[in-house]
């Protein structure tokens, strides 16, 4: 091989190495979360596991690896996810996967793009009327010493200011509004069209889980701005989460 050909090969090799390095750099920069506003998480997906309703994702944030779960999506390894609302479930067992996660964060607001506070409307309470749909095929066994949602609505005056036990499926969850978590549960019972109960608690639960709540019943609670609840359970404690 003459000297001229050798020089050409060396130059082409150097250009190839430069191309590979710069391409990897661009990919890393693209996937690297940007500067984030307070309270916002930016993670890179390492592994994705699909189930019927959820996508479980192993992610990395600031060199820390952990698991999150989002409503089923097409998210793949290498994608970026941004979120600000998540509830941690420790020792969570997935029946479908036959696997226990030491810790998994159920993310309520995943986004592939960074959303700044300026583009997000202030979070409001979720009014019960007209927005909650009855979940089909729900049949929850009444816990010992507890009552059903139908019984609560039927005899609401008897429970005013008292602690009651109710078990139901979590159908909606909003974290940290007025320093508490707001959620809706249903147990499959109904009284005159009332099938859903609003609960406030400091405990974190995930949508789709079945939970027993013990809390104080309040009637005709008005939080202003049109958010009125004829029946609500407050200061609730979550137990027997499945």
Interior/surface letters 179-198, b for 16+ CB within 10 angstroms, e for the rest: ebbbbbbbbbbeeeebbbbb
For strands 99-107 and 197-201, give the pairing.
unpaired
Q: Of 100-114, 138-152, 183-197, where does mean pLDDT reach its minimum?
A: 100-114
Q: What is the mean pLDDT of the chain?
A: 80
Task: Count CA atoms within 13 Å of residue 147 on its CB side.
Answer: 20
In the predicted model, is pLDDT for residue 127 greater than 50?
no
Among 68, 10, 19, smallest CA distance to 41 is for 68
Q: Report pLDDT for 219.
A: 94
- The pTM of the full predicted model, rounded to 2 decimals, is 0.50
pLDDT in tens, 29-82: 444 455 677 778 999 999 999 988 789 999 999 899 999 988 788 999 999 999
Tokens standing for 198? 């609003």
Tokens standing for 242? 């499945």
Strand partners, 56: 49, 69
DSSP 194: B
Instruction: Provide the 3-class DSSP secondary structure of residue 232.
Output: strand
CA distance 30 to 9: 32
CA distance 235 to 163: 10
Which helix (H) or strand (E) segment holds residue 227: the answer is: none
Cα-Cα-Cα-Cα dihedral sign, residues 105, 54, 208, 220? positive
Give the chain's domains with CATH numbers. Answer: 41-117 (2.40.50), 149-239 (2.40.50.140)
Q: Report pLDDT for 152.
A: 96
Q: Report pLDDT for 168.
A: 95
Strand order in the sheet with 99-107: 80-83, 41-50, 54-61, 64-71, 99-107, 86-94
């Amino acid at each position: 091989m003459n000297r001229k050909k050798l020089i050409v090969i060396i130059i082409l090799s150097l250009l190839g190495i430069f191309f590979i390095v710069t391409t990897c750099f661009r990919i890393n920069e693209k996937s690297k979360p940007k500067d984030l506003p307070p309270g916002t998480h930016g993670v890179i997906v390492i592994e994705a596991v699909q189930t019927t309703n959820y996508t479980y994702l192993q992610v990395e944030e600031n060199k820390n690896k952990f698991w999150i779960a989002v409503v089923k999506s097409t998210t793949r390894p290498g994608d970026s996810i941004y979120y600000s609302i998540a509830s941690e479930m420790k020792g969570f067992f997935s029946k479908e996967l036959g696997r226990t996660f030491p810790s998994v964060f159920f993310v309520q607001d995943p986004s592939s793009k960074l959303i700044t506070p300026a583009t997000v409307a202030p979070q409001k309470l979720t009014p019960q009327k007209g927005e909650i749909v009855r979940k089909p095929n729900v049949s929850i066994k009444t816990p010992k010493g507890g009552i059903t949602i139908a019984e609560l609505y039927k005899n609401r005056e008897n429970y005013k200011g008292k602690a009651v036990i109710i078990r139901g499926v979590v159908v909606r969850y909003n974290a940290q509004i007025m320093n508490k978590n707001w959620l809706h549960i249903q147990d499959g019972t109904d009284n005159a069209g009332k099938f859903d109960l609003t609960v406030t608690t400091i405990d974190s639960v995930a949508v789709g889980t079945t939970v027993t709540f013990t809390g104080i019943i309040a009637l005709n609670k008005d939080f202003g701005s049109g958010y009125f609840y004829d029946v609500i359970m407050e200061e609730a404690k979550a137990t027997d989460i499945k």
